[in-house]
Amino acid sequence: MNVETMVQHANPFLNAQRQLLTAVDQLGLDRAVYEVLKEPERVVVVSIPVRMDDGSLRTFIGYRSQHTLVTGPAKGGIRFHPDVTLDEVKALSMWMTFKCAVMQLPFGGGKGGVVCNPKAMSRGELERLSRGYVRAIASVLGPELDIPAPDVYTDAQVMGWMMDEYSRIVGKDQPGVITGKPLVLGGSAGRSEATAFGCVVAARETARHQGWELEGATAVIQGYGNAGSISARMLHELGVRIIAVSDSTGTAYDPRGMDPVALLAHKRRTGSVRGFPGSQEIPPEELLTLKCDILIPAALENVITAQNAPKIQARLVVEAANGPTTPEADPILFKRGITVVPDILANAGGVTVSYFEWVQNLNRWYWSEEKVNRRLERAMVQACQRVFRLADHHRVNLREAAYMAALERVAAALKARGWV
């Protein structure tokens, strides 16, 4: 079935294919480029038996998608989540291809996931699952083949277990096989804040391109995990008023503004942002449509849709999450004058510092946090400028421009290799 005629609904992989096809057509590229890139080069589906703490044996399903290796080794996170699907992982691997390309990194896109509920698992069970996943996919991993990283509900410790397991399998220390590791195992300074740092730089550069500054602006953050909470803190430090946030358990709204550090402490203490002193709880769907200058969706996919896009009141939407805006919602926002900084640009700080970590691992030479942040800021500013130029020249939204910038690089690599 032609992707142009498919019913999109909420399937992230169909959304990703549609975005790819749009960029191919806008650049006037040969449809062969679309044919090569519309499906991942390799998808691995594995079953992972894990001995649970009560002695029972449970089998978990895991996925790894390598979208393309045309521009370098596959790069992308591994998520542990009860709702992981194969189509989601395939879509995320495609988005990673374009995220790496828009930042001009020497990587193709990869993504992995395990269907599980990590919140209901002990530390020991998570370690056994992490090691079992690596054993199951070890043949398709490697510092020059596929380099995973943290994603939803995985962290530096999970990456440390995975790196250790892979190193045991190959019989030598291999820090470059995984990024987002603990510092003591070869992690990079600045990695934990990189996604948020890049997101805030993208917001700042986009506002400046439009002729305004972040100081005095208001912001709403949907999702108060690592990226959302750190983005809130960094925006607050720049003079932005954080008026509403949400997490998986509730919301907190205070038009006077909230201290994001105190809010995070409250969440860690109580398990939720709701109930933060001075705030009120509002329905999660209302949070997205609050009047504000900056809306940052920092949770999961498909939260801004054709149904709620007409109600969005933000001046700027900055996608800290992957795929939070559906293809049907994009033109609605564009026509209403709402600028969307797309995920493949807005949250590319994480993969950029992952690249820095990989380079440091290969050279066994480690950089200061100041050096990492300086290089990340420069890379983000340059990427934003490339996308702004394309958007202004072609009179398209920033997502289309970002895909065009990325696809130019990927298509050039395909041609240089003789694949098209």
From 346, 379, 396, the end of a domain falls on 346
From 311, 346, 381, the end of a domain falls on 346
In sequence order, the β-bridge partners of residue 49 are: 59
Q: What tens digit of pLDDT does each residue of 376-388 get?
A: 999 999 999 999 9
Q: Are 189 and 345 in contact (CB under 8 A)?
A: no
User: What's the pLDDT at 300?
Assistant: 78
In sequence order, the β-bridge partners of residue 77 are: 149
Clarify whether residues 132 and 242 are in a common domain: no
Clarify whether residues 264 and 299 are in a common domain: yes
Domain-embedded: residue 19: no
Domain-embedded: residue 411: no
Clarify whether residues 116 and 73 are in a common domain: yes
Domain-embedded: residue 51: yes
From 321, 346, 371, the end of a domain falls on 346
User: What's the pLDDT at 323?
Assistant: 82
Q: Domain holding 111: CATH number?
A: 3.40.50.10860
Clarify whether residues 210 and 335 are in a common domain: yes
> How many other CB atoms are there within 10 angstroms of residue 366's CB atom?
16
Options 75, 90, 99, 111, the catalytic residue: 111
Integer-rounded Cα radius of gyration of the chain: 20
Residue 75 annotated among the catalytic residues of the structure:
no
Structural domain that includes position 282: 194-346
Clarify whether residues 269 and 303 are in a common domain: yes
Q: What tens digit of pLDDT does each residue of 201-219 get?
A: 999 999 999 999 999 999 9
Q: Is 96 left (phi over 0), alpha (psi -120 to 50) or beta?
A: alpha
Clarify whether residues 52 and 98 are in a common domain: yes
Domain-embedded: residue 309: yes
From first to last of the 420 residues of the chain, give the pLDDT tens digit.
333 333 344 688 998 898 899 889 989 999 999 999 999 999 999 999 999 999 999 999 999 999 999 999 999 999 999 999 999 999 999 999 999 999 999 999 999 999 999 999 999 999 999 999 999 999 999 999 999 999 889 999 999 999 999 999 999 999 999 999 999 999 999 988 999 999 999 999 999 999 999 999 999 999 999 899 999 999 999 999 999 999 989 999 999 999 999 999 999 999 999 999 999 999 999 999 999 999 999 987 789 999 999 999 999 999 999 889 988 899 999 999 999 999 999 999 999 999 999 999 999 999 999 999 999 999 999 999 999 999 999 999 999 999 999 999 999 999 999 998
How many whole angstroms separate alpha carbon 98 and alpha carbon 343? 10
User: What's the pLDDT at 3?
Assistant: 36
Clarify whether residues 74 and 203 are in a common domain: no
User: What's the pLDDT at 7?
Assistant: 38
The predicted model scores a pTM of 0.91
Domain-embedded: residue 383: no
Clarify whether residues 132 and 214 are in a common domain: no
Q: Which tokens in the block code for residue 171?
A: 């019989």
Domain-embedded: residue 241: yes
Sheet holding 241-247, edge to edge: 250-253, 241-247, 218-222, 291-297, 313-318, 339-341
Domain-embedded: residue 31: no
Clarify whether residues 168 and 99 are in a common domain: yes
Clarify whether residues 208 and 313 are in a common domain: yes
Domain-embedded: residue 260: yes
Clarify whether residues 83 and 213 are in a common domain: no
Q: Domain holding 229: CATH number?
A: 3.40.50.720
Clarify whether residues 341 and 198 are in a common domain: yes
User: How many folded domains does the chain comprise?
Assistant: 2
